[in-house]
Structure 1
Amino acid sequence: MTTSRAPFRIGKTFPFEATRTLNGAPDGHSFWAKVTLVADQLTGPGFVADFGELSPVKQYIAAALDHRLLDDVVGGAPTCEAIADHLLAWCREFLPPPAVYPAGPSSVRGRVGDSRTARAGWSLACPHD
Structure 2
Amino acid sequence: MNSPFEADPAAGPLPNGWLPGLPAGGTYTIGKRANCDIARTVDGIDGSDLVTVELVLTATELTKPGFVCDFGDLSGLQQHVDQVLDHQDLDTILADPTDAGIVAHVRAWAQENLPDDVRQLLDDVRVFTGRLPDPAADEAVRFRARHWLCDLPDGHKCGRHHGHAYLVTLPDPDQPDNLLPVPGKLREVVLSRFHGQVLNTVFDFNPTSEHLAAVLTAWLVEQELTAVGGRPFTVRVSETASTWSQFTLETA
**TM-score normalized by structure 1?**
0.74
Match of 1:44 among 33, 43, 64: 64
Match of 1:20 in 2: 40
* Total equivalences in the alignment: 111
CA drift of 1:111 comes to 0.3
Q: Between Structure 1 and Structure 2, which shows a larger proportion of strand residues?
A: 1
CA–CA separation in structure 2 for the residues paired with 1:113 and 1:31 = 6
8 Å contact 1:39–1:48 — kept in the other structure?
yes
Q: Which has the larger radius of gyration?
A: 2
**Deviation per residue, 1:31-50 (Å, 9 max, x gap):** 11011221110111111111
Candidates 107, 110, 114, aligned match of 1:88:
107
Any stretches of 5+ residues in structure 2 without a counterpart? 1-21, 134-252
Letter in 1 for 2:129: D
User: Match of 2:166?
Assistant: none
The answer to whether the 8 Å contact 1:84/1:110 transfers is yes
1:68 maps to 88
Partner of 1:10: 30
Task: Specify whether residues 105 and 10 from structure 1 end up closer, same or farther in structure 2 by C-alpha distance, changes over 3 A only.
Answer: farther
Which structure has more relative contact order (CA 8 Å, sep 6+)? It is 1
Q: Distance in 1 between matches of 2:58 and 2:43?
A: 38
2:125 pairs with one of 79, 85, 110: 110
Where structure 1 has 5 or more consecutive residues not aligned to the other structure, the ranges are 118-129
Is 1:18–1:66's contact at 8 Å kept on the other side of the alignment? yes
Cα shift at 1:6: 1.9
Which residue does 1:31 correspond to in 2? 51
CA spacing shift, 1:60–1:24, aligned 2, 3 Å: same
Name the CA distance, whole Å, in 2 between partners of 1:8 and 1:92. Answer: 21
Residues 39 and 107 in structure 1, CA contact (< 8 A), matched pair in contact too: no
